[in-house]
Amino acid sequence: MFKKGFVLITVLVLVLGILSGCATVEDTSSDVNEGVDQEQTNNVTETNYPLTIKDDSSKEITINAEPKRIISLIPSNTEILYALGLDGRVVAVTIFDNYPVDVQERVEYVFEDGLNPNIEQIVALNPDLVILGAHSEQLLNSIRALNISVVQFNPQSINAVYETIEKIGLITNTNEKAQQVIAEMKEKEQSIVEKIANIAETDKVRVWVEVSSDLWTSGKGTFIDELITKAGGINIVEENGWVQYSEEKVIEANPQVIFTTYGYYTPNAVEQVLSREGWQQVDAIVNKRVINVDNDLVSRPGPRIIDGLGEIAKILYPDQF
């Protein structure tokens, strides 16, 4: 029940993001780094404080000193912090944080409601930095009113993930580690893309992504859509954002591969799709190419997003790997 509830909350947050215009993949490189010289950021090894930087809320944030007590209220940013070796500084995460696997055991406090955390508890933890994701402006302003440094990062593309890692590295004075993480991710991404670079357009695999059993799916401008495209596939969904399809529409599109992302809370998700009445002539069903993928890998904008890209590419074109 808990996991199902989490997915429903996740879908709701994504839909709200679409309505606010922030859930589509955009090139944010021109504005996301305002307030920081990009060339300097790429070469800096030591952060000078006070640091003024612009986050994804488009506000200039001043960080007065190197953060030592950090609260992360979204799993993707927690994963970035741990990738930067900052586990000793993270004092609180949310109940949805699950990577590293023992992350909830390492911190002082776990927020049960990551979207609407208890403000009094935030104050009690005495943080010098709070990192948000797609949270409300009300929460953002409530924390800022307490004179606690708070930044918001909600990257919507792979390139934006790289920028977010770089900026969190700058804020936390882990610049060299951030550049190392980014370089490793880019190298892995390039290796994957090169392996499928020669797939002819006529041979590209049609893909249907099912994020819930009631046929919610990932359209244009979502992370999963970007991963499918980079992996050489064709997302059958032409609409933008997160949308709900009819069975007839999926069947008509005749996907060759079907990905489910809800197998961790729905037993036998793949088997249920394979046995659907009326779907038996769909290519993916005929060839039994229905696969459950790790939802965290393909939708969480953090360091493991490239692992999600690799998983999708290997499924679509196993002979290339």
Rounded CA-CA distance 242/15 in Å is 6
- Which residues, listed in sequence order, are joined to residue 257 by a DSSP beta bridge? 207
**Homologous superfamily in CATH for domain 31-189:** Nitrogenase molybdenum iron protein domain (3.40.50.1980)
Tokens of 185: 């991710």
Answer yes or no: is pLDDT of 5 > 50. no
User: Helices 175-195 and 158-171 meet at what angle, rounded to 10?
Assistant: 170
Which among 295, 279, 154, 289 is positioned nearest to 212, based on CA atoms?
Answer: 295
The confidence score (pLDDT) of residue 16 equals 36
Secondary structure of residue 217 in the 3-state scheme: strand
pLDDT bucket at 250, cuts 50 / 70 / 90? very high
Tokens of 303: 């360091």
The gap from C-alpha 10 to its chain's centroid, in whole angstroms, comes to 11
| CA angle 149–154–156, rounded 5-degree value | 160
Q: Percent of the chain beyond pLDDT 70?
A: 87
The confidence score (pLDDT) of residue 40 equals 46
Chain segment 126-148, per-residue pLDDT in tens: 999 999 998 888 999 999 999 99
Find the mean pLDDT for residues 80-105.
98
Least confident of 2-6, 64-68, 165-169, 178-182: 2-6
Dihedral angle computed from the Cα positions of residues 226, 5, 278 and 298, in that order, rounded to the nearest 10 degrees: 20
The confidence score (pLDDT) of residue 150 equals 96
* β-strand pairing of 60-63 with 51-54: antiparallel
Tokens of 301: 């904008």
Tokens of 74: 């979204």
Dihedrals φ, ψ of 298, to 5°?
Answer: -100, -5
Tokens of 202: 């006529």
The confidence score (pLDDT) of residue 41 equals 54
The confidence score (pLDDT) of residue 42 equals 62
Find the mean pLDDT for residues 171-186.
98
Find the mean pLDDT for residues 8-21.
39
Higher per-residue confidence, 258 vs 3 = 258
The confidence score (pLDDT) of residue 59 equals 86
As separate numbers, helices (DSSP H) first and strands (DSSP E) second, the chain gives 14, 13
Tokens of 182: 């980014």
- Give yes or no for a contact between 131 and 117, defined as CB atoms under 8 angstroms apart: no
Find the mean pLDDT for residues 205-214.
97
Rounded CA-CA distance 219/23 in Å is 10
Which among 152, 153, 95, 149 is positioned nearest to 127, based on CA atoms?
Answer: 149
Least confident of 24-38, 83-97, 207-221: 24-38
Answer yes or no: is pLDDT of 13 > 60. no
Secondary structure of residue 191 in the 3-state scheme: helix
pLDDT bucket at 31, cuts 50 / 70 / 90? very low
Answer yes or no: is pLDDT of 201 > 80. yes
Answer yes or no: is pLDDT of 293 > 80. yes
The confidence score (pLDDT) of residue 46 equals 95
Find the mean pLDDT for residues 281-304.
97
The confidence score (pLDDT) of residue 26 equals 41
Domain boundaries, the chain: 31-189, 197-320
Are 31-189 and 197-320 in the same CATH fold?
A: yes
**Homologous superfamily in CATH for domain 197-320:** Nitrogenase molybdenum iron protein domain (3.40.50.1980)
